[in-house]
Each structure stands twice: as C-alpha cells, then as structure tokens.
A = this chain, B = another copy of it.
C-alpha cells in the first residue's frame, strides 16, 4: 500500500529525477507538467502533492489556493526563488512545507516522509505537542498537565487542527466536519468557538494561528 503522490512540475529534467527517486522509494507518482492539467486534477486522490510554483499556464499560488479549497491533502511547495515573500504567501495560502531549488533529492524525500509520517501520530489517538496533550478517544485535553474543560465543538475543532499539526485547515472543512455539514452562507460561529478555545488554552492558545482567507492551523513547536 504505497502512498500516492501528485507531482506538478514543468521542468523535464527535474521532473524525471524526482519521479525516479520517489518511485524507487516505493511511492506511486503521478506527474503533471503544466498548470492547466493540474487545475483539473483531483487532489483528494493523493496522499501528498508536490507543487512547483513556477509554471506555464497558471500561477502555482492559484493552484495551491484551489487545492486548498477542496482538499486537506498536504501540499509541499517547490520554488526557485529564495524570496521570503513567496514563501510567506504560499504558507499563508496553506502550504505545508517549502523547499527552495536547488535541492538534493534526499532532502525532498525527507520532507515528504516527514509530512506523511504525521498522520501516524493520529493513530496513537494521543497527540502531544508543546504543553498540550490531546487524547482523541478519551476526549481529554491537558495543558501542562492541567485538565482543560472543552465543550464538544471546542474539542472537535482543536482535535481537527492537532491531527494535522502544522497544516492549514480550511474554514469550510472545519464547518463541514464539526458544525452542520450542510450549512451555507457565511457565519461567525466558527470564530466564536476558536475564540473560546484560545482563551481556555491560555498561552498555548496563541499557537492556534489564523491563516488569512483560508482557515486555521495549529503551529508545531
């Protein structure tokens, strides 16, 4: 049961290299070479997406944004520039990691594996990060050993973020998952709940970061 990876990369040489490396390591790789076909792809079909920002046909950031609206699939961004602004913007749009070219294939591989390994934390049912300890089954949260009383929705929201530690989770998917799945129109309900979670978590609450225009993320320590 190998992990499926979607690679969006226009450069033939680089793409070939990446595909051969990932394939050799047991991944199942789908390679798309331009932005328009990337827009047609279904991100939920993959376990992880490697996205080069420099593409003909569409700007990578747009693709990233569209992927983020429809899926929670982790996106790892490649960029030639060493410009921090691009990095900041891609992370703000919900990218999960960022690799600047040139890079060693081993580095990319390591990042991919690091990202794919995270859901495994979920398998243990207990997520520990910083001073927080979240027991998904028992529905118990501790902050520095102190039990924190959360309501059902508050807990579900925090757990949703924690299960994808460091990743941005869209407002829509949080609403779908925790609140009423068929709810339309905008509402500030989500904000209210997060406001309370942050307050109840005290200083640790600051780790719940707002991803502007996207949703929220729980910062890794």
List the interface of chain A (C-beta within 8 A of B).
1, 14, 17, 102-104, 106-107, 110-111, 114, 117, 119-120, 123-124, 135, 137-140, 151-152, 164, 166-168, 211-214, 217
Contact = CB atoms under 8 A, between A and B. Distances in A.
A138 B14 contact: no
This chain: copies in complex: 2
Contacts of A211: 139, 152
Contacts of A168: 137-140
A120 B104 contact: yes
A126 B164 CA distance: 14
Contact of A123 (B1, B111, B139): B111
A123 B107 contact: yes
Contacts of A107: 120, 123
A135 B217 CA distance: 13
A217 B167 contact: no
A77 B205 CA distance: 38
A90 to B, nearest CB: 17
A102 B120 CA distance: 12
Contact of A1 (B17, B124, B138, B213): B17
A197 to B, nearest CB: 16
B152 A166 contact: no
Given A1-B104, A110-B123, A110-B124, 10 more contacts: A1-B102, A104-B119, A106-B120, A106-B123, A138-B167, A139-B167, A140-B168, A151-B212, A152-B212, A152-B214
B164 A138 contact: yes
A95 to B, nearest CB: 16
Contacts of A151: 212-213
